[in-house]
Structure formats: C-alpha cells, structure tokens
C-alpha cells in the first residue's frame, strides 16, 4: 500500500509541476502577444507616416 501511495504522491507532484509550467507558458504567450501587438501598431504607424510623407513629396514635386 505504501508503494502505491508513494507512486501517487510522485504523480501528483509531477502534475503540479506541469500545471505550473503551463501557467508560465500561458503568461509568456500573453506577454508576447501584447509586445507583438505594440510592435505591429508602431510599424503600421511608421508605414502610414512614410506613405503620407511620400504623397506630400510627390505633390510638392508636381507643383514645381
């Protein structure tokens, strides 16, 4: 009986460890999604600003 209890205890310890790892990975995933979302927004803003600057430069060059 003690052998079975020890084995169950080992299994429960392992399950707890893996649950902690899953929680950690989920947290890292959420953080990465947030960081990537901010980088995407920054990149989009830069591209839109560049496009506006190019349009402005093209209109300016047409007038001359």
Q: How far apart are the first and last CA of the chain?
A: 94
The domains of the chain are located at 31-64
Q: Give 26-50 as a DSSP string.
A: HHHHHHHHHHHHHHHHHHHHHHHHH
Q: What is the pLDDT of residues 13-57, one digit of tens each?
A: 999 999 999 999 999 999 999 999 999 999 999 999 999 999 999
Q: Give 5-30 as a DSSP string.
A: HHHHHHHHHHHHHHHHHHHHHHHHHH
Look at residue 64 and tell me whether its pLDDT is greater than 90.
no
Pairwise CA distance, residues 51 & 53, whole Å:
5
The reported pLDDT for the residue numbered 63 is 83
The reported pLDDT for the residue numbered 1 is 82
């Amino acid at each position: 009986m003690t052998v079975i209890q020890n084995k169950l205890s080992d299994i429960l310890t392992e399950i707890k460890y893996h649950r902690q790892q899953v929680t950690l990975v989920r947290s890292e995933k959420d953080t990465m999604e947030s960081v990537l979302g901010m980088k995407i927004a920054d990149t989009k803003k830069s591209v839109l600003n560049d496009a506006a600057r190019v349009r402005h430069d093209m209109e300016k060059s047409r007038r001359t």
